[in-house]
A = this chain, B = another copy of it.
Amino acid sequence: MRSAAVVGTGLIGTSVALALSARGVRVHLQDADADAARIAEARGAGTTAAPSGPVDLAVLAVPPSQVADVLEQQQRRSLARSYTDVASVKRGPQDEVAGGRGDAATFVGGHPMAGAERSGPWAADATLFEGRPWALTPLPPTSRETVNHALELVSLCGAVPILMESGAHDHAVAVVSHTPHLVAALMAGQLAGVPEDAVRLAGQGVRDVTRVADGDPRLWTQILQANAAAVADVLEGVGRDLDEAVQALRSVDGAGGGGRRSAADRITRLLTRGREGRGRISGKHGGPPTVFTPVHVHIGDRPGELSQLLAEAAALDINVEDMKIEHAQEDSTGVAELAVAGAAASALARRLAERGWNVRQIPGPADRGDGSAEQLLRPAGLG
């Protein structure tokens, strides 16, 4: 890609333009608000001068309701060879395009999953899309060349492309973006009328839960309107679970013994299901969690023994990430498990063994804690 046009220099459009410009693409900027385009230009996102001929790809960074209109208009002017948009819903605009508004062969819908609390060209950032998912929703008539132009755009922005059908996309964003936004706002709304003392008790939890509710209400009304049916479906699911939670809480409050217990079980089930759902998205960018290697040491019941164990690790500059104690028998002896970085486990185990500790299994230098055959080492000096 040598040249591109960005139509609409808000946060997303200008961020795309900054990313493309940084990779050497010549970017032409336009916006219905000429000042927004000039600010984007001043930030180095491209030029406000019109291109002399069709660019390779035009990125339409306009609200969902305007995508088909702007596409038709810009295709009539031959602004580009291929077109994509960045709107957060895909079905409505694509139905309009498929219905004859604009040429579907040179258009592929797109949606980068990125945003920021601030809006406008000044808040734009060339790295906004790095590592983020970017959905592309080709129509049956969309040409391969157009899909490839959009894939190159996603790649130049450092994002991860995901090809999807537009309806599946809209259901997906209803559950992973639009409904969470609305739920955050509904929760935040309950804070509006509470006494000042109550607000002073607010900690990081409620700040995280409600953070996205800072977003622009008018912009989000447009987004929710454009995906109303799918959001309503997901929100009704939340509502059903919420009603069950209210019922369970009321019966905890009122009922005795058995009813209380089964109500508590219902709350635990709802929370457990929440943790399951959370587990599906908790790894950042899908990376695996950090793995530590356990070093197991037999311990007795002497005072200060665990502190001495930690002092041994400290003397080697080894960071102990976690410590647990497992009791094998009924006496007070047991096994202390020290979790350390894989590379340090071997050194720690050897030092402990040398210093007379009863270490169970010395991990190899590359051991990642997958627990193969165990070896019991009883060094001299310990029974």
Which residues between 37 and 82 of chain A lie within 8 Å of chain B, taking CB atoms? 38-39, 41-44, 48-49
Residue A190 is within 8 A (CB to CB) of chain B in the complex: yes
Number of interface residues, chain A, beta carbon within 8 A: 117
Q: Is A258 an interface residue (CB 8 A)?
A: no
A44: chain B residues at CB < 8 Å are: 307
Given A48-B303, A172-B198, A188-B277, 10 further pairs, Cβ under 8 A: A39-B306, A42-B309, A176-B194, A180-B206, A180-B210, A186-B242, A189-B241, A189-B270, A215-B271, A218-B268
Whether the Cβ atoms of B249 and A243 lie closer than 8 Å is no
Q: Tell whether, in the assembled complex, residue B213 and residue A278 are in contact, meaning their CB atoms are under 8 Å apart.
A: yes
CB pairs A–B below 8 angstroms (17 shown): A42-B306, A42-B323, A115-B203, A169-B201, A175-B198, A185-B278, A186-B270, A188-B277, A189-B274, A191-B281, A199-B281, A200-B286, A208-B212, A211-B278, A224-B252, A225-B267, A232-B253
- Specify the main secondary structure of chain A where it touches its partner: helix
Q: Kindly state the separation between the CA atoms of A203 and B205 in the bound complex, as whole angstroms.
A: 18
**Of B43, B209, B228, B252, the contact of A253 (CB 8 Å cutoff):** B228
* CA of A113 to CA of B197, assembled, Å: 13
> Given that A39-B323, A135-B201 are known contacts, is A280 also in contact with B115, CB under 8 Å in the complex?
no
Contact call A252/B225, Cβ cutoff below 8 A: yes
The 5 closest A-B pairs by CB, nearest first: A185-B274, A42-B306, A191-B277, A172-B198, A217-B271
CB pair B234–A190 under 8 Å, yes or no, is: yes
A275 and B185 contact, CB distance less than 8 A? yes
Is the beta-carbon distance between A191 and B229 smaller than 8 angstroms? no
Is the C-beta of A366 less than 8 angstroms from some C-beta in chain B?
no
Complex formed: what's the CA distance from A65 to B271 in Å? 20
Quick one: which of A43, A164, A172 has the most chain B CB within 10 A?
Answer: A172
In chain A, residues 276-326, which have Cβ atoms closer than 8 Å to a Cβ of chain B?
Answer: 276-278, 280-282, 284, 286, 303-304, 306-307, 309-310, 322-325
Of the residues B199, B212, B238, B250, contact of A205 by C-beta under 8 Å: B212
Q: Is the CB of A202 within 8 A of B281?
A: yes
Q: Are B231 and A188 in contact (CB under 8 A)?
A: no
A280: which B residues are within 8 A, CB to CB? 191-192, 194, 199, 202
Question: At the interface, yes or no: A343 with Cβ under 8 Å from chain B?
Answer: no
Q: Which of A197, A234, A327 has the most CB of B within 10 A?
A: A197
- Bound-state Cα–Cα, A244 to B271, Å: 25
Give A242 to B180 CA distance when docked, in angstroms.
12
